[in-house]
Amino acid sequence: MIASLAHYDPLEKVEEVGPFEHDDPGHRADPTLPNLLATATNVVELSPHCGSELQGVQLTDLSNEGLDELALFTAQRGCVVLREQKYLGIGFEEQKRIASYFGPLHKHGWMPHPQNGPVEFVIVYDSREDLRIRKSWARKSPIQFHVDQSPESQPPGMTFFCMLESPQGSGGDTIISNMHQAFMRLSPSFRKRLEGLNAIHTTANPIMREIRDNGNLAVLRRPITKSIHPVVTVHPVTGQKALFVNSSYTQSIVGWDEEESDYMLKFLFDHINRGQDFACRVRYEPGTIVLWDQRITQHSQTLDYAPGDRRHAFRLTPLANKPIPSLVEDDDGECAKDEGRVLLSLC
Ligand SMILES: [Fe+2]
């Protein structure tokens, strides 16, 4: 576990992964999931719209067919929880090999990696000896729903979050929310207005916070990353539409005045924050792995445990497809039907 302590090197640089062809493993999956569920003793839904816990399944025992099915199941359920996983003890190279089955691994611009460990690992280490996480959220709500690294031109898909040590008792859960549901909860005519729009995503704000908090010791491995992505995207495997703007990285809507863009983004971020009925909350213990598909979910940390309590985890973040825009469809009468329902309810 010591090998996984956070390492901060202000002089270190990394290269971005660069463009690549993404062939999503979920396309190859048998939809009845025979390989994934071969040893499963129980499948527990964490909430109706997001999250399932698979009991009796070891990630390290899955064949390629099992991993394909895991990709599909994660895309369908948003997130999958696996507990007491041997994966945490198999060493950096094997951990990387399994995670990179889903795509080339992202290299983070400012978060720490392990001491003498690969740059593809992101270490989350909150403890009495290392208060950088506490410091970075000192003047901002720690509840921020986001897609990890959405400013990448090919943002992450399947993501591995692996807990080594969690606070005694409770605390430090992750809240994961279904962005297909977030989109579908909007009125039909409102949804059609969002389709076809694009938004700017940038790492500028977190990089500024890193400099503000750590001065000469700030870790700045890569320049600011910026991309334009559709506001509504389509999952390449399930075909589900999802809201793809987030409060950590989305800066503005392309072509709109600043006031219009700020107003719309604030509404959408509030809408996502209120979505307790399409989210789930995952509690950790050492050995828990949570996999989430960033193309259909957003997530937020909770920082509800006592300052100084130790929470120690690592993340591996395979990159995936260039976000697919949701096409602006002809009005099929859905909007009028919706308005008609409102008129009837007024009678
Ligand atoms: Fe995150």
Maximum Cα–Cα distance across the chain: 70
User: Using one digit for the tens of pLDDT, what is the confidence trace for 98-126?
Assistant: 999 999 999 999 999 998 899 999 999 99
pTM over 0.85: yes
User: Using one digit for the tens of pLDDT, what is the confidence trace for 132-157?
Assistant: 888 888 888 999 999 999 999 999 99
Q: How far is the CA of 299 from the centre of ligand 1 (A)?
A: 6
Q: How far is the CA of 237 from the centre of ligand 1 (A)?
A: 23
Q: Has residue 2 got a pLDDT over 70? A: no
Going across the sheet that includes 198-202, the strands are: 226-230, 198-202, 250-253
Q: What is the arithmetic mean of pLDDT over 10-19?
A: 92
Q: How far is the CA of 176 from the centre of ligand 1 (A)?
A: 10
Q: How far is the CA of 300 from the centre of ligand 1 (A)?
A: 6
Q: How far is the CA of 116 from the centre of ligand 1 (A)?
A: 23
Q: How far is CA 202 from CA 50, 138, 147, 208, 315, in A?
A: 27, 22, 12, 11, 21
Q: How far is the CA of 152 from the centre of ligand 1 (A)?
A: 14
Per-domain residue ranges for the chain?
15-319
CA atoms of 195 and 232, how far apart (whole Å) = 6
92 is written with which tokens?
């950096």
Q: How far is the CA of 148 from the centre of ligand 1 (A)?
A: 5
- Identify the pLDDT of residue 43: 98
Q: What is the arithmetic mean of pLDDT over 279-299?
A: 98
Q: How far is the CA of 100 from the centre of ligand 1 (A)?
A: 18
Answer whether 188's CB lies under 8 Å from 194's CB.
Answer: no
232 is written with which tokens?
């509504």
Q: What is the arithmetic mean of pLDDT over 299-304?
A: 96
CA atoms of 323 and 54, how far apart (whole Å) = 28
* 3-state percent helix, strand, coil for the chain, nearest multiple of 5: 30, 25, 45
- Identify the pLDDT of residue 328: 77
Amino acid at 135: K
Topology of the domain covering 15-319: Double-stranded beta-helix (3.60.130)
| Residue 184, H or E segment | helix 179-184
Q: How far is the CA of 345 from the centre of ligand 1 (A)?
A: 42
Residue with tokens 């070891």: 58
Q: How far is the CA of 312 from the centre of ligand 1 (A)?
A: 14
Q: Has residue 92 got a pLDDT over 80? A: yes
Residue with tokens 């009925």: 277
Going across the sheet that includes 174-178, the strands are: 279-282, 174-178, 297-301
CA atoms of 153 and 227, how far apart (whole Å) = 6
Number of neighbours of residue 59 by Cβ within 10 angstroms = 23
Q: How far is the CA of 42 from the centre of ligand 1 (A)?
A: 28
Q: How far is the CA of 336 from the centre of ligand 1 (A)?
A: 39
Q: How far is the CA of 161 from the centre of ligand 1 (A)?
A: 9
In the chain, DSSP finds a helix count (H) and a strand count (E) of 8, 18
Q: How far is the CA of 222 from the centre of ligand 1 (A)?
A: 18
Q: What is the arithmetic mean of pLDDT over 244-264?
A: 98
Q: How far is the CA of 21 from the centre of ligand 1 (A)?
A: 24
CA atoms of 322 and 84, how far apart (whole Å) = 34
Q: How far is the CA of 113 from the centre of ligand 1 (A)?
A: 15
Number of neighbours of residue 143 by Cβ within 10 angstroms = 14
Q: What is the arithmetic mean of pLDDT over 290-319?
A: 96
Q: How far is the CA of 337 from the centre of ligand 1 (A)?
A: 39
Q: How far is the CA of 330 from the centre of ligand 1 (A)?
A: 36
Q: How far is the CA of 199 from the centre of ligand 1 (A)?
A: 20
Q: How far is the CA of 174 from the centre of ligand 1 (A)?
A: 9
CA atoms of 60 and 45, how far apart (whole Å) = 22
CA atoms of 102 and 283, how far apart (whole Å) = 25
Q: What is the arithmetic mean of pLDDT over 243-271?
A: 98
Taking alpha carbons only, the member of 227, 238, 246, 229 closest to residue 182 is: 246
Q: Has residue 36 got a pLDDT over 60? A: yes
Taking alpha carbons only, the member of 6, 47, 13, 67 closest to residue 223 is: 13
User: Using one digit for the tens of pLDDT, what is the confidence trace for 187-221?
Assistant: 999 999 999 999 999 999 999 999 999 999 999 99
Q: How far is the CA of 311 from the centre of ligand 1 (A)?
A: 15
Q: How far is the CA of 155 from the centre of ligand 1 (A)?
A: 13
Q: How far is the CA of 145 from the centre of ligand 1 (A)?
A: 8
Q: What is the DSSP letter of 280?
A: E
Burial of 118 (0-12, 13-18, 19+ CB in 10 A): middle
